[in-house]
Amino acid sequence: MRLRRMVIPAAIITAAGGAAAAAAGLYAVRRLARVLVRPRMDLHGKVVLITGGSRGLGLALAKEFARAGARIAICARDADELDEAERRLHGIAREVVPFVCDVTKRADVAELVRAVIDRFGQIDMLINNAGEISVAPLESLDRSDFERAMAIMFWGPVDLTLEVLPHLRHRHGGQIVNITSIGGRVSVPRLIPYCCAKFAFVAFSDGLAAELDREGIRVLTVAPGLMRTGSYLQAQFKGDAAHEFTWFGVAANLPGFTAPAAYAARLIRRAVEQGRMTLTITWPAKVLIRVQALFPEVTRHLMAGVNEYVLPNPQGNKTLVVGRALNEGFKGVFRLFTTLGRTAASELNQGPATGG
């Protein structure tokens, strides 16, 4: 009797476990089959809207997708930089149209999506790329620094995505590409507001991918490590701004550790064509993400060590200085270490103060 009381529940649990394992196995096989037979996306004639397409990675992406036959809409705040980007894209893109838009303004975002659909008749792909790098120690930060980062790199992509989604749903498909960052996977010192915004953006992007998959809308979350886009000249610095600029300028352009923007754009285009959901760019970013996942305590110690022994002494100066202005005063070894950065800057429309 006692034996029967033990055997029956054990049999039920085993049967339920077996059924669950079989269902999970079947689901895994179906997903795998879906991935394997998924047709490659043909970019020819597709309308691609790229935020922050006037310079840096956005411009490299515009060139890459244009070469694959896509019709390109780029947006940014600076009209002159957009015009210059449009000029550089002529001859590569069969169609390129610039739109002035500040992604932190919801009215601008709604107007942008309306204007792109009016002009092209459709949107097939949204690339949420616009971003701003700000390097500053905690001592120099205010709440407004966090709000600004969230406005550009979290609320901007959220508003744009929500604005474009009804259109993609109406067309029963589409693609969203979210350019997040290694800073959205591992929080690093001197970039806390940036990392907060990128972590939130990763969460949004990963959740979107899960929820939109059944509707045929693909979402690719890209986590780049450092790329040579020339944007160290556009980044903003606080605290001991000159020294913060020095370490960041060197790190952002180190050969071997950083990826050329054109290479990153090529990887992103391929990942889109293959229908992938995640992409990490640069080997240091891949290593860091794995170490963080397996040994979170280790990355905390690593970051604390970098903050204490490698980075400049933290200072509370709240004046914001743009990299381009600081770059003017730098000579010698720094210019040697940033040679690749200056080349990238002139190729990717990072403004006049890049010579030398």
Ligand X SMILES: NC(=O)c1ccc[n+]([C@@H]2O[C@H](COP(=O)([O-])OP(=O)(O)OC[C@H]3O[C@@H](n4cnc5c(N)ncnc54)[C@H](OP(=O)(O)O)[C@@H]3O)[C@@H](O)[C@H]2O)c1
Identify which of residues 315 and 353 has a Cβ nearer to ligand X in the complex: 353
CB of 96 to ligand X, least distance (A): 14
**Site string (5-34) toward ligand X, x via CB under 6 A:** ------------------------------
CA distance 335 to 345: 13
Identify which of residues 120 and 232 has a Cβ nearer to ligand X in the complex: 232
CA distance 24 to 274: 24
- Check binding of 123 to ligand X (CB under 6 A): no
CB of 280 to ligand X, least distance (A): 11
Which residue in 43, 46, 48, 58 binds ligand X (CB under 6 A)?
58
Catalytically active residues are: 194
Residues within window 141-180 making contact with ligand X, judged by CB under 6 A:
152, 179
Identify which of residues 101 and 217 has a Cβ nearer to ligand X in the complex: 101
Helices and strands, counts by H and E, the chain: 14, 12
CB of 156 to ligand X, least distance (A): 6
CB of 323 to ligand X, least distance (A): 10
With contacts defined by CB under 6 A, name the span among 34-42, 126-134, 265-273, 324-332 that binds ligand X. 126-134
- Check binding of 130 to ligand X (CB under 6 A): yes
Residues in Cβ contact with 218 at an 8 Å cutoff, skipping those fewer than 6 apart? 41, 174, 175, 176, 209, 212, 272, 275, 277
Beta bridge pairs of residue 279: 222
Radius of gyration of the chain (CA): 23
Question: How far, CA to CA in Å, does 112 sit from each of 40, 118, 168, 178?
Answer: 29, 10, 15, 18
- Check binding of 77 to ligand X (CB under 6 A): yes
Identify which of residues 234 and 315 has a Cβ nearer to ligand X in the complex: 234
CA distance 80 to 353: 15
DSSP letter assigned to residue 138: G
Residues within window 219-258 making contact with ligand X, judged by CB under 6 A:
224, 226-227, 229, 231, 234, 252
Identify which of residues 12 and 283 has a Cβ nearer to ligand X in the complex: 283
Neighbours of 44 (CB within 10 A): 10
Quote the distance between the C-alpha of residue 51 and its chain's center.
11
Question: How far, CA to CA in Å, does 108 sit from each of 76, 156, 177, 180, 248?
Answer: 11, 10, 20, 22, 32
**Which residues are near ligand X by CB under 6 A?**
51-52, 54-58, 76-78, 81, 101-104, 129-132, 152, 179, 181, 224, 226-227, 229, 231, 234, 252
